[in-house]
Chain A
Amino acid sequence: MSQQPLLSVRGLSVEFKRGRRQPFRAVDNVSFDIDRGQTLGLVGESGSGKSTIGNALLGLVKPTAGTVLFEGRGIASLSAAERRSISGRLQVVFQDPYSSLNPSLRVGQIISEPLSVHTDLDQRQRSRAVAEMLERVGLPPSAMTRYPAAFSGGQRQRIAIARALITRPHMVVCDEPVSGLDLSAQAQVLNLLKDLQAEMGLAMLFISHDLAVVRYVAARIAVLLRGKVVEEGTTAKVATAPEHPYTKRLLAASPAPDPVAQHRARELRRQLQAASATLA
């Protein structure tokens, strides 16, 4: 604990106004740390507030309470100009590769946009950097002159990764980056993310509903239920010996490609259900 973590979130809460009704508390007093080069997996079901946490880190929603320290600096409520100064080091890859790329810009323009904001490279240097980055994510340099519509979901997600990494960020928020992809494209993107992480020393907040994916990429896992972290720990512990009943339910529900294991999981599910029924 001698070194301070790259990202440190303490008591983060986000509320959304709902007209005259009680505001909706999407994120409730959440705390976690992410070290340099480390990946924290954030698991939860829809409505658990996992994307809201990501958006709060990125400055897309304003936290109601709590502190977010990034590289020792509070970023919970920055002005637009201050936010700009850190945005080169804190980037994002979103879920939907269709809506996350502007269909009217060429791929080269999309990837070089962060460079034009954060560096004073000239046109030629920028396009060289873009070509390198494209190659790094496994796309040919000729992709630069095409529009996003010409690419498949997996390829678009590579473009989104190239855009996120071109400024060499220290941390990337990955918000369900493989949920919309087929198994084979998912494997390609997950491998790519892991390789780039090892190479660039990236830290990641990896948000997903899929425990199998999170288990594969993350060293630590935080489980989110209705805006609260109910369990946090190393992947080995959370994914094999969970303590919280919700984590147990989540694990029992996640379908494994093994009929015997599925049969056991079904039994376990029924037991858990019966147990919770008797409790209630």
Chain B
Amino acid sequence: MMPVGGDQAPGQVVAGPLGDAALSGSEAGQASWRRSSAWRVLRRPAGFLPVIFLAGIIMACFAASLIAPYGPLTQNLTQIDQGPGWQHLLGTDTLGRDVLSRLLYGGQASFIGVAEAMAVAVLLAVPIGLASGYLQGRTDTAISRVIDVLMAVPGIIVLLMALSVFGNSLTPAMIALGVLSVPSLARVVRSATIQVSGELYVAAARVVGLKPRQVMWRHILPRVIGPTVVTASILCGGALLVQTGLAFLGFGVRPPNPSWGSMVQEAGTVLYGDAWLIWPSGLVIALTVLSFILIGDAIRDSAQLSRSGQTPASRAALRRAARAAARVTEAPRDSAQPQHGEATPAGPALLDVTDLSVVIPTVGGVKTVVEKVSFSVAAGEAVALVGESGCGKTVTALSILGLPPGGGHISGGSVRFRGRRVDNLPAADWRKLRGSGISYIAQEPIVSLDPSYTVGSQLTEMIRLHDPGSPRKAAVTATALALLARCGIAQPKEMFRLYPHQISGGMAQRVSIARALAGDPRLLIADEPTTALDVTIQAEILDLLHDLRADSGMSVLFVTHDWGVVADICSKAVVMYAGQVVEVAPVTDVLAAARHPYTDALLRANPHLAAPGDRLQEIPGSVPPPGQWPAGCRFAQRCALATDECTAKPIPIKQLTGLRATRCIRTEELAALQHTKDGSRNEPATTA
């Protein structure tokens, strides 16, 4: 399975003794992509029932000559207008014909008509939409104009003309209906094509040298099939209604031959004498149309599911939760809260997290994503929560705020803020605490601001929430302007009037920091607040946070994966791996010599510390996902120092001297290894 992993030849790329977990964990992904999307449609009743109904009725109609109890025209004038019974399951009509048999035979014309219309529509609309969306430019303009004109054509008149020109034959009418459906379908294909064309793999295919035709056929068509099928399915329902409507009006199928529309029409004429007769034909039309539409909805829903499944679903959920958290940190101040400037209670840490465990429900069952995490943040301290993605940093941070993401909840342990237990607070109390006691800034500053309000109104709203006692508008505005100025915005008055989309990412982050500071928090939780920013802007934001902390004595919990940011702003590092804390240490100490092999490997993988020409140290494999954590040390399978003892049983976290702790039993071997490796890491080739 591992072609190069076992090979230790120095020149060999030992790029990946691929973590077995990484591959086996995605075994589901091996299933065919298309098969799985069909499965997703069928798995739920909303997809399953209409498919079964439609398949059943289509098969029954086309097998009418085999299964229908009577001929479509067989009359029995002794048994007219009968209700449902054993002899005639759905009763008989005014001429004593069996309704069930007529429905089955009549459906044939309806479905053939729908199929004709859809075949024409799809065959024309897909190439037109693809060409229009992919080639763009003049082709697109020309096609769009033609589509615009077609959309203005009155459909019913065209249909009636087709019927009169072609001697009341249904096929030309349905072909005309198909052509009339082209614009709406082509527009869907076009917009899906434009979206897919923007994906990098299409650019990669062009660089490879594929012809436009090949790019459209191989790379774009498979991705636009989904939306096309959704729209076509809904158009099918419409086509069936048009077809039955025409038959109702007497076009197309000629009496006495049955069709669903003419059966409704016949039943309509005797509605007062025989109220039953309208039901079978009316209901079958309604249910069939409904089935088409429900199938379309089910496909659309499953496509959305699979799209969010492309990136790990939990990550999308995390982002949503983070955004929500950024919004809910806007909460009224508890007037009982001590004002800023008062002495904080001495003794216990400002924030104390003890054995915090968080579970999140997933498709495969409830999974523990954070396990027995303990650390503390002292008043005025800046603590970094460090680790790679998927290690549980963000989940931990959000859970401290009482907002575990993805529908999860805290399953064990406690969170104490100023000595008071907050993990079990009722929602109302949490609202008082968030924003004033603990505040939060997110990674994506622009999305965490509401696009429909100006910066000023979002800021003043927050100030009012936190300080309901100062109703004077001028005072609130002055406070807001002061906050903006304090956050390094040179022209706060201009900024006050702007909307979030009018400002840059760096400015938006300053605004969200200003908003987070509106309630004078004692603890600011910052979740990768500079990751999305340019490096010069990042430096400015870090400088700002540095100064704010120095001025106000506020504590900061900084979630990050960047050791440079850790070194810049934090004094203590809490390193997480696979849902656990693996090392706690003062930042200077951990950067000088890590006490856990994961931390050590992470630091050695950093190109910042490597001399040009050196090889970066790799960490083979990847982080095991929740649910696949080994029983012993979770890093053991990627660790060069691992022994049998490491994998035998869970490794407890061990207190070391100098406020350090590690979850490793081979710290001495690690220290020896660090000693023999070149000491260059202790004097990093810094660029400054």
A contacts, CB < 8 Å to B? 45-46, 55, 58-60, 80, 83-85, 87-88, 90-92, 94-96, 98-105, 113-114, 117-118, 135-142, 145-147, 149-152, 154-155, 158, 160, 163, 182-188, 190-192, 194-196, 209-213, 215-216, 235-236, 239-240, 249-259, 261-262, 264-266, 268-270
Asked if B212 contacts A80 (CB within 8 A), the reply is: yes
Identity of the chain B residue whose Cβ is nearest the Cβ of A236 in the assembled complex:
B612
Contact residues in A for B211 (Cβ distance below 8 Å): 80, 84
Query: Of B204, B622, B688, which contacts A251 at CB under 8 A?
Result: B688
By secondary structure, the B interface counts as helix
Give 11 pairs: A residue, B residue, CB < 8 Å, sorted on A.
A92-B204, A94-B203, A155-B16, A183-B606, A188-B15, A188-B16, A253-B538, A255-B567, A255-B568, A258-B686, A265-B539
Whether B535 lies near A211 (C-beta < 8 A) is: yes
Q: A58-B207, A149-B26, A262-B564 are in contact. Are A211 and B687 (CB under 8 A)?
A: yes
A250 touches B535 (CB 8 A): yes
Q: Is the CB of B686 within 8 A of A140?
A: no
Identify which of A60, A118, A186 contacts B206 (C-beta below 8 A): A60
By the criterion CB–CB under 8 Å, are B30 and A139 in contact? no
B609 contacts across to A, CB distance below 8 A: 257
Give the residue of A59, A80, A92, A186 whose beta carbon is less than 8 angstroms from that of B607.
A186
| B537 proximity list for chain A (CB < 8 A) | 45
Question: B562 near A: Cβ within 8 Å?
Answer: yes
Q: CB within 8 Å of A: which of B589-646?
A: 591, 601-603, 605-610, 612, 615-619, 622
How would you classify the secondary structure of chain A's contact residues: helix, strand, loop or mixed?
Answer: helix
Q: How far is the CA of A64 from the CA of B310 in the complex (A)?
A: 37
Query: Complex formed: what's the CA distance from A91 to B204 in Å?
Result: 8
Q: Once the chains bind, are A184 and B612 in contact (CB under 8 Å)?
A: no
Closest partner residue, chain B, to A92 (CB atom): B207
Interface pair B543/A141, CB less than 8 Å apart: no
Contact of B688 among A59, A100, A261 (CB under 8 A): A261
- Interface window among B1-9, B66-74, B76-84, B113-121: B1-9
Q: Does B588 contact A (CB under 8 A)?
A: yes
**The 6 nearest A-B residue pairs measured at CB:** A255-B564, A138-B15, A150-B29, A257-B563, A253-B539, A187-B605
- B222 on the A face (CB < 8 A): yes
**Contact among A87, A257, A266, A268 with B564 in the assembled complex (CB-CB below 8 Å):** A257
B33 A186 Cβ-Cβ under 8 A:
no
Report the Cα distance A57→B539, complex, angstroms: 32
Q: Measured between C-beta atoms, what is the minimum distance from B588 to chain A in Å?
A: 5
A182-B561 in contact given A98-B311, A150-B29 (Cβ < 8 Å): yes
Q: Across the two chains, which residue of chain A brings its CB closest to B29?
A: A150
Q: State A185–B607 Cα separation when bound (angstroms).
A: 12
- What residue of chain B has the Cβ atom nearest to residue A270's Cβ? B543
B residues 1-51 near A (Cβ < 8 Å) are 1-5, 11, 13-16, 18, 22-23, 26-30, 32-34
B388 within 8 A of A: yes
Among candidates A60, A192, A254, A262, residue contacting B203 with C-beta atoms closer than 8 Å:
A60
**Could you tell me the distance between the alpha carbons of A269 and B201 in the complex, rounded to whole angstroms?**
40
Query: A202 → chain B, closest Cβ, in Å?
Result: 14
Indicate whether A113 sits within 8 Å of B687 (C-beta atoms), given known contacts A154-B622, A210-B535. no
Question: Does chain A have a CB within 8 A of B208?
Answer: yes
Q: Are B610 and A149 in contact (CB under 8 A)?
A: no
- A100-B204, A152-B22 as given contacts; A215 in contact with B687, CB under 8 Å: yes
Instruction: Choose one: B1, B209, B536; the contact of A87 (CB below 8 Å).
Output: B209
Binding site for A on B (CB under 8 A): 1-5, 11, 13-16, 18, 22-23, 26-30, 32-34, 199-201, 203-212, 218-219, 222-223, 309-311, 388-389, 534-539, 542-543, 546, 561-568, 587-588, 591, 601-603, 605-610, 612, 615-619, 622, 684, 686-688
A186 to B619, CA, bound (A): 10
Residues A138 and B612 in contact in the complex (CB < 8 Å), given A80-B211, A104-B222, A251-B687: no
A90 contact set on B, CB distance < 8 A: 207
> How many whole Å from B462's CB to the nearest CB in chain A?
29
Chain A residues with CB under 8 A of B3: 135, 138, 140-141
Q: How far is the CA of A113 from the CA of B208 in the complex (A)?
A: 8
Taking a contact as CB atoms under 8 Å apart, the answer to whether B207 and A91 are in contact is: yes
| Chain B residues whose C-beta falls within 8 Å of the C-beta of A98 in the assembled complex | 310-311
**Contact assessment for B686 and A59 in the assembled complex, using a CB-CB cutoff below 8 Å:** no
Centre residue among B15, B32, B219, B591 by max chain A CB count within 10 A: B15
With CB as the reference atom, state the residue of chain B lying closest to A141.
B3
Name A261's contact: one of B206, B619, B622, B684 (CB within 8 Å).
B684
B607 touches A94 (CB 8 A): no
The interface residues of chain A lying within 8 Å CB-to-CB of B561 are 182-183
A59–B205 alpha-carbon span in the complex (Å): 12
In-complex Cβ contact of A253 among B11, B388, B536, B587 (8 A) = B536
B389 to chain A: which residues have CB within 8 Å?
182
Q: How far is the CA of A113 from the CA of B210 in the complex (A)?
A: 9
Q: A94-B204, A135-B4, A257-B609 are in contact. List 16 more A-B contacts (CB 8 A).
A: A80-B211, A84-B211, A92-B203, A94-B203, A113-B205, A141-B3, A147-B33, A150-B30, A152-B22, A183-B388, A190-B607, A210-B535, A251-B687, A257-B566, A257-B684, A258-B567
Query: When A140-B1, A187-B618 are in contact, do A256 and B565 touch as well, CB less than 8 Å?
Result: no
Which residues of the partner chain A approach B18 to less than 8 Å between Cβ atoms? 138-140, 155
A59: chain B residues at CB < 8 Å are 206-207
A133 to chain B, nearest CB (A): 12
Given A149-B310, A259-B587, A240 and B687 contact (CB-CB distance below 8 Å): yes
Q: Is the CB of B33 within 8 A of A45?
A: no
Are B591 and A258 in touch, CB under 8 angstroms?
yes
Q: How many angstroms from the CA of A136 to the CA of B609 in the assembled complex?
A: 27
CB distance from A240 to the nearest CB of B (A): 7
Shortest Cβ gap from B404 to chain A (Å): 23
Select from chain A the residue with minimum beta-carbon distance to B565: A255
Contact B568 A192 (CB under 8 A): no
Contacts of A255 in B (CB 8 A): 535, 538-539, 542, 562, 564-565, 567-568
Nearest opposing residue in chain A for B638, CB measure: A184
Beta-carbon contact of A256 and B16 below 8 Å: no
Q: A248: nearest residue on chain B (CB-CB)?
A: B688
Q: Check B564 against A114 for contact (C-beta < 8 Å).
A: no
Q: Kindly provide the distance from the CB of B299 to the nearest chain A CB, expressed in whole angstroms.
A: 15
Closest Cβ of chain B to A264, distance in Å, is 5
Q: Which residues of the other chain, A, contact B535 by a CB distance below 8 angstroms?
A: 45, 209-211, 250, 253-255
B13 near A195 with CB under 8 A, answer yes
- Cβ-defined contact, B687 with A142, below 8 A: no
Known A-B contacts A104-B223, A140-B3, A252-B688; A185 and B209 likewise in contact (beta carbons under 8 Å) = no
